[in-house]
Amino acid sequence: MKRTHLSRIRFAGGESYPPAQFIVRRNMKTKSFTKRSFAVLATTILLLVALPVTAVFAADTGFQAPSSNTAQGGTGSWQNPQNGYTSNNLYTTVDGTKWVEYGTFNIPAIPVGSTIDGIQVSVEGSTLYG
């Protein structure tokens, strides 16, 4: 059985190395790549740990009172419809079938990209007739 001895290792790019030198150079390149990869990974982890984490909560405007009203449809008329703006034991009354629309709630601007998860409305009512 005849043994063939490699005197040089040739690559497609034209470089050639003796076998022992190729192994050493290949190991050096692998170690260098491994060290760089570890350094990048360690730096990334340190940056992520060092960054402050802030919780983001939705803004709660609380209840906003209207500042305008308009009587709509039906018959009769509303007396003191502005008394319906807040809960203060002052009442508005109607003698008929009209209804009133309240508006201009002074809701602050909603930032771009925000998601509205809900709207809460509070209504009080009273009647003199059973």
What long-range pairs does 114-118 form, CB within 8 A, spacing at least 24? 117/58
The 3-class secondary structure across 35-60, one letter per residue, is HHHHHHHHHHHHHHHHCCCCCCCCCC
Q: Where are the domains of the chain?
A: 9-50, 68-103
* Contacts of range 15-18, beta carbons closer than 8 Å, 24 or more positions apart: none
* pLDDT tens sequence for the chain (130 residues): 455 555 555 566 666 555 555 555 555 555 666 777 888 888 888 887 787 777 666 677 788 889 999 988 888 888 899 998 888 888 888 888 888 899 998 888 888 888 888 888 888 887 777 5
pTM over 0.75: no
